[in-house]
A and B are shown apart, each in its own frame.
Chain A
């Protein structure tokens, strides 16, 4: 088991603690508790004097690229920040390029942002920028993709254990035997390892007779996944299952299955739980996905941000990086109806 996985296990142990922290944060945010408290009176509340004094806070989210997940996170973040009335928030596109994200980080640091939400393109490449932000007293909160440099908080989907559960569900659907392929993300991102290792370990644990015959990069892309899977199928005509480490790649696999008349024969699982994937599951095309309420994920991150920016809990007070794993549901045709319209994204 890798060190990262051990960390994940530890994180899971602290899951309830983190959930409690997160719940307190979001509850507090909803009640407007994150303005500075008056030590003499003990009264809480966002102090309107701050706004009047032009002491508005700046926060920004540098997303990986334009996609449904980051848009949903941003909506969740805004759900919490907008009612605070003292936060100027902006959403910036990293264009899938580490160098662009680094440049945007520099600009936001110079602009005096209080908190930067970040979905790093690469876990290592953004580490020096996070270090720079910390030196400037800026809290960085990463979403889903962690960075190698410790920072204020990391709010992520439960990649490892979710992928283990996907492996179990996929193996069950395949009758416990057969060949599967993984449509993977580019290297350099910790969640790639977590989602892949979780799936591989899950197969070993629950369905040791299932063989992983291909693990190829499809760059998060539906189109790329179509091309990659077509090649994999040519080499492995008896392929029984496909795991896309995100829904876009899984839906690309669905496209190929439709073209080749393999719907119902090929077991296809995705990860994330975007609306398109849930609709595909309901239509009997995609077999399943790991659904996470990413609006809620954004709200958790924003709540922590407001706590940090209020000055009540400085980033330096975090001896260890805060780490919150989101709860999830393995959505299949049997369970997809449980996901309410408000939770869909």
Chain B
């Protein structure tokens, strides 16, 4: 696990941003707004965590948005066309998405493709598959029929934690969406995986120096396929959250989401140079993007300003990452000089 002061700085930046919007954006500091933030950006945080795994390996997954659409359409078809019960659809969707992610890894490992190229190709291919299997295109009437399976739409459930704890008379807490708890569960699982298991240490080692890891006896191929499969799994979870939220799926679902997920991961301190980062940063990064978008909307700022500001934050994060890399290289060179 690579801990960095950057995580503290990111958290501080996040809290300051929230504080500023609470002060200046009308209706920002309301329970319903924080409810919106949790329900609207938990799936982004899940995608960002998934995207972090390939980035930890110095790779990237451009197909994550297309996998969201693929998983969403699988869920749609299974329920609307084949009337499969929801309790079976949930694992089937996750298997399909994880498989799509694993295919990315296999292409990278066995065809020796650059991750950028391999996932760019599958971005197009998976989106094409979505159109090919779309039940909405096959039977247009289904496109205007909502999904009602309780197992699927039940994901969009909210919990009154304040009421359950008996503190709602004293504190007005937002209702927490199930997607937020899913995000927390994934965060804990992946963080423990990275922190406390050999697999996690191997991921950092391969990301830091793949050749050294291979020479140390780590199965780098398996690790690579695993990380892309994780990315697919997260796309599957995010798709289920979205399908529950929208009560349908669309062919365009997840379009452009790869950029949001990459931005959140990089803003969250996952180094594009590989081997550095945790699950904490991408989660904060995703919610930071959400806070900025919601806050500026409430302030009445143009959405173009929002996009410029989001780009500026991303640029700052990349520059900071680059600065840290240069610093490390200098320290390493100085250490080598001191030892000779």
Contacts and interface: CB of A to CB of B under 8 A. Distances in A.
A98 interface: yes
A189 to B, nearest CB: 8
Contacts of B242: 99
Contacts of B294: 103, 107
Contacts of B144: 123-124, 148, 188, 190, 193
A109 B35 CA distance: 12
Interface residues of B, number: 35
Interface in A120-154: 121-125, 127-128, 148
A97 interface: yes
Interface in B225-259: 242, 245-248, 250-253, 255-256
Interface stretch (A88-96, A169-177, A281-289): A88-96
A102 B252 contact: no
A110 interface: yes
Contact of B246 (A93, A98, A106, A186): A98
Interface residues on A, range: 20 to 34
Contact of B245 (A92, A96, A104, A128): A128
A259 interface: no
B297 A124 contact: no
B251 A110 contact: no
A189 B253 CA distance: 14
B140 interface: yes
B246 A104 contact: no
A327 interface: no
Interface in B32-54: 32-33, 36, 39-40
Given A102-B246, A107-B36, A128-B247, A112 B27 contact: yes
A97 B33 contact: no
B251 A186 contact: yes
Nearest to A193: B140
Interface of B: 26-27, 30, 32-33, 36, 39-40, 134, 136-137, 140-141, 143-146, 156, 242, 245-248, 250-253, 255-256, 293-294, 297-298, 300, 303
Interface of A: 2, 90, 92-93, 95-99, 102-104, 106-107, 109-112, 121-125, 127-128, 148, 186-190, 192-193, 217
6 contacts: A97-B256, A128-B156, A148-B145, A187-B134, A187-B251, A192-B140
- 10 shortest interchain CB distances as A-B pairs: A125-B246, A106-B36, A188-B143, A187-B143, A124-B248, A110-B32, A103-B40, A187-B136, A110-B33, A111-B27
